[in-house]
Structure 1
């Protein structure tokens, strides 16, 4: 471990660098700070009492505390780990009271819900709940950067927020498919929504014990599955959070599993592509679309227009041609399948009938760990197998496993024979639990909640056009004027699911806090492309445009956001 800076001790006032101080001042204390006490170790130890089920707003067992400890500060360091750029950074962490515990299930056969709550020694009166990822099953410690955060920002905990996370109510085990927990009904409901609500209520009870008062403002941040969780909180529990940031959320969860499985099936029987052929498509997309935004810089900013400009048929092998310089008919059909919508034979919850196709750009985005572009999410290093193999694309591994464990409820089911109409009743049940597609956010808006949604437009884990469709469904339901007062949708061109490929980092949490607490709607936000090595100097920046706008180059330094304008 290479240690770079032992700063960030307790509060923003002690942050050493100007960039971090600026980030802190944006969220400056609107509430009188509260101390954990003159003897933090003793105060931390007193938090070991169980929390009764009566303090949890859903039917539940009680919460027990496994351990409490006063931690020592951790210096900023860089570790060679993934899967995301942000995960390669171990941010500076102040001394705090770490509480580990579990919420007992009602069904004795269901797993407990594990949680971690981090209590700063000097509290700013706010809290941040972190969402999970994938199928969860791993405890989220809520110590890292929030999704899409600039690397030179302090973590919420270092700014004085209480932070907390959960494993969503099941624990992964070696050799066991990550979807196997769905065989237990309570575990599935916990994964769908209940665990996040329950842990939120337990965390509030712990804050009351530790500081003598409830949080003045509560925030939720999440990416991918965690982004779905954030939207689920706005839809199901509109009174529980004041501000929510949802990044690349897997909103239309049920149809995504089927679409991912369909896309994998399309690469069987000759449709699978080698990395050199992926690069061929990637280069062809750039040739068709890169300069359309006024600048040939490797980023397709007019992502929607590129969907009509790029024609995969132009890469079709001519008679007698082959190898990595063209695509076979089966490969062309596979790409067309990826880009086309997946249509359900019946409506899912909230009347949803299809999953939009994926977009173009970022096909050969380099991977951080296991993730990046087609080679990670769609294709893997070998064609899809039954049963799924670790070398297969992530979408196939996730989607086919979900078909087996969530819908067919048969771990040995051959997904090549899957027809949704044969499982309509079960699909309806799971869709009602998992799909965060309810467009009626009236209750969340009415109590002052604010929602920021960010879609990365080179995302192949989920289609970014799902988030766009969801936003448009909310506008259709509530009206543009009403939506503008509480809901912002942003798009990041050229950025993949995990935040690589183009400028991807922004001052999201400060903007969300200012909107919630001071009524200052986000404006002038920028995306930064930063290395993971301090001092994290930005290589280039772009304006973070609200949908349906996208950044077009005007003139000046191409590395500066000021040289671009958001246009429609």
Structure 2
């Protein structure tokens, strides 16, 4: 519970380690009371106060007693008004607040955050998630991934985000040497940033948001499921795209792919072979939705053609291809089969998880891109994204930094099936960084809403894991129960931010209408922002439906498609 205009009562400290500075606490209460008085009398004057006194927030502190997890409080490093006419600003006038949340241990990095309070506030707040291993402050000033024409801040949302509790970039895992930093990355930064942001929103406007949302993709998608599972009372709605919910699973999957590619003779699948598989799949499966559009939409029908696709790309007698040939040897097909089959572990990770479903290797995934399988048969140390593939490079970093904490460790030799002394750590890590808890009862009970989207051609996070988790929810709550709070959209042709179809659609608007007006989203429309096919549109179908061309009219117009269910 946070302070409101009706009651400036704060919760008790969450631990004896938290000592609220009296001066800071007094300043906070004063600002809250003053802002509340303004908001109660004249909303326009409250906005004017925000603009006039934004800079006064600089140097203020937020005491640890109002942050729901242990910290040493937060410090506002800077606060200033960004004018609507400022160069490069597309967000209208707003108060930009930047600060840091102090950890318990001196050796742990701060959680750096940014909060943006628009002068024309719509009464809503939006927390925005990160990507990869984060490490860079999510400013909240940029457009959402699939709505590039506007920003939530420009639409009146108070926005906020953080760096997840360490400095680096999305590909660096070296922060995992610190246990508190791991917990911050896994879940702690979400709650801590949320609570500080809401305190600042109260300081700015004198009241709580009417609705609070979360939106993110990949790591941000995992964070979306995380807040639903861990902090269900804090959010009215969540957007979770391409969610890395089984974080341990995808990292172990990357290790398995690296072992197949570089730990076995001839296992590396070259760029020519990667492209040949993709082209063969398109040849066999593109028209299964009745449209020759470069998109494999009917994935389930394509899956039935897998044997003939493999036969078409296999080299004669399964031998290694010549320099001029793009066929695949048996060893290379075995590597792709590893990707397709996923993991089946002989032990349990957190929440009873013992699998990681595989990828749609023979149903339209292009592994020849920057997040694919790499471009070299030579293994470098440490593995690099472009050279040895994104999945393996990230999996190797996970084993080195998170699991063994041994930078000289060779993950090619890591025994996934029998991790030995690392087994308990794998379990602990999967609980700390992961969102596989299917108990969403508290989020459902409060009326929370969830929109999830995933590309069926995703080469980084398996879309089949998202589908599997969705089915777990149905097994637990029934189809009607899941329909009451969740919508899942699986998008053909969309990869991990790239692909032959990249949808632009108003997810935030759809979520807000569902939460605020009770209008549940059904079939929506996505506009392609891929450079080669920019502007064409397709229905965004609720899973398990897919868009099928009706056989007449412009093939680039969503109106000429219907959402249909895969046949038996």
Q: Could you tell me which residue of structure 2 aligns to residue 389 of structure 1?
A: 384
- Is the contact made by 2:51 and 2:119 (CA closer than 8 Å) also made in structure 1? no
Report the Cα offset of residue 277 of structure 1.
2.1
- Partners of 1:413 and 1:530 lie apart in 2 by 41
- Partners of 2:139 and 2:82 lie apart in 1 by 13
Q: Provide the secondary structure at the position in 2 that maps to 1:115.
A: strand
Q: Could you tell me which residue of structure 1 aligns to residue 300 of structure 2?
A: 304
Cα deviation, 1:187-225, whole Å, max 9, x if unaligned, reads 010000010110000000000000000111001000000
Asked if 1:481 corresponds to 2:480, the answer is: yes
Distance 1:234 1:496, change over 3 A: same
Which of 266, 274, 277 aligns to 1:278? It is: 274
- Partners of 2:498 and 2:382 lie apart in 1 by 30
Asked if 1:497 corresponds to 2:526, the answer is: no
Matches for 1:420-435 after TM superposition, within 5 Å: 420=416, 421-422=419-420, 423-435=422-434
Asked if 1:326 corresponds to 2:324, the answer is: no
Report the Cα offset of residue 504 of structure 1.
1.1
Cα deviation, 1:229-264, whole Å, max 9, x if unaligned, reads 000000000001101000001011101100011112
Report the Cα offset of residue 408 of structure 1.
1.2
Segments of structure 2 that go 5 or more residues without pairing to the other structure are 1-41
Which of 117, 120, 137 aligns to 2:118? It is: 120
- Is the contact made by 1:70 and 1:96 (CA closer than 8 Å) also made in structure 2? yes
Which of 387, 395, 401 aligns to 1:399? It is: 395
Cα deviation, 1:289-311, whole Å, max 9, x if unaligned, reads 11011111100001233223133
- Is the contact made by 1:362 and 1:501 (CA closer than 8 Å) also made in structure 2? no
Q: Could you tell me which residue of structure 2 aligns to residue 51 of structure 1?
A: 62
Asked if 1:349 corresponds to 2:350, the answer is: yes
Report the Cα offset of residue 172 of structure 1.
1.2
- Partners of 1:182 and 1:501 lie apart in 2 by 35
- Partners of 2:87 and 2:279 lie apart in 1 by 38
Which of 172, 180, 187 aligns to 1:178? It is: 172
- Partners of 2:326 and 2:424 lie apart in 1 by 46
- Partners of 2:175 and 2:122 lie apart in 1 by 37
Report the Cα offset of residue 404 of structure 1.
1.1
- Is the contact made by 2:171 and 2:394 (CA closer than 8 Å) also made in structure 1? no
- Partners of 1:463 and 1:74 lie apart in 2 by 43
- Partners of 1:521 and 1:41 lie apart in 2 by 36
Report the Cα offset of residue 177 of structure 1.
7.3
Report the Cα offset of residue 417 of structure 1.
1.5
Which of 142, 145, 158 aligns to 2:140? It is: 142
- Is the contact made by 1:362 and 1:496 (CA closer than 8 Å) also made in structure 2? no
- Partners of 1:232 and 1:518 lie apart in 2 by 25
Report the Cα offset of residue 350 of structure 1.
1.2
- Partners of 1:184 and 1:470 lie apart in 2 by 30
How many pairs align?
509
- Is the contact made by 1:128 and 1:162 (CA closer than 8 Å) also made in structure 2? yes
Matches for 1:356-371 after TM superposition, within 5 Å: 356-360=357-361, 361-364=363-366
Which of 555, 558, 561 aligns to 1:558? It is: 555
Cα deviation, 1:293-340, whole Å, max 9, x if unaligned, reads 111110000123322313323211115863333112221111111111
Matches for 1:410-449 after TM superposition, within 5 Å: 410-420=406-416, 421-422=419-420, 423-449=422-448
Distance 1:75 1:285, change over 3 A: farther
Runs (4 or more) in structure 1 with deviation over 4 Å come to 32-36, 74-77
- Partners of 1:349 and 1:300 lie apart in 2 by 34
Report the Cα offset of residue 409 of structure 1.
1.7
- Partners of 1:417 and 1:336 lie apart in 2 by 20
Deviates more, 1:228-237 or 1:479-488: 479-488
Larger Rg belongs to: 2
- Is the contact made by 1:35 and 1:123 (CA closer than 8 Å) also made in structure 2? no
Report the Cα offset of residue 46 of structure 1.
2.0
- Partners of 1:187 and 1:246 lie apart in 2 by 23
- Partners of 2:85 and 2:251 lie apart in 1 by 39
Distance 1:74 1:488, change over 3 A: farther
Which of 209, 212, 217 aligns to 2:211? It is: 217
Report the Cα offset of residue 547 of structure 1.
0.9
Cα deviation, 1:119-168, whole Å, max 9, x if unaligned, reads 1011111011100000111111111111322x33x211001100011000
- Partners of 2:223 and 2:470 lie apart in 1 by 16
Distance 1:324 1:542, change over 3 A: same
- Is the contact made by 1:221 and 1:246 (CA closer than 8 Å) also made in structure 2? yes
CA RMSD of aligned residues (A): 2.2
Asked if 1:546 corresponds to 2:542, the answer is: yes
- Partners of 1:75 and 1:540 lie apart in 2 by 34
- Partners of 2:546 and 2:531 lie apart in 1 by 26
Segments of structure 1 that go 5 or more residues without pairing to the other structure are 1-31, 78-90, 365-372
- Partners of 1:33 and 1:350 lie apart in 2 by 47
Q: Provide the secondary structure at the position in 2 that maps to 1:289.
A: helix
Q: Could you tell me which residue of structure 1 aligns to residue 311 of structure 2?
A: 313
Q: Could you tell me which residue of structure 2 aligns to residue 255 of structure 1?
A: 249
Q: Provide the secondary structure at the position in 2 that maps to 1:324.
A: coil
- Partners of 1:156 and 1:324 lie apart in 2 by 50
Cα deviation, 1:7-57, whole Å, max 9, x if unaligned, reads xxxxxxxxxxxxxxxxxxxxxxxxx97665335543211222100011111
Q: Structure 1-normalised TM-score?
A: 0.86
Q: Could you tell me which residue of structure 2 aligns to residue 107 of structure 1?
A: 105
Report the Cα offset of residue 71 of structure 1.
1.4
Asked if 1:236 corresponds to 2:220, the answer is: no
- Is the contact made by 2:523 and 2:542 (CA closer than 8 Å) also made in structure 1? no
Q: Provide the secondary structure at the position in 2 that maps to 1:546.
A: coil
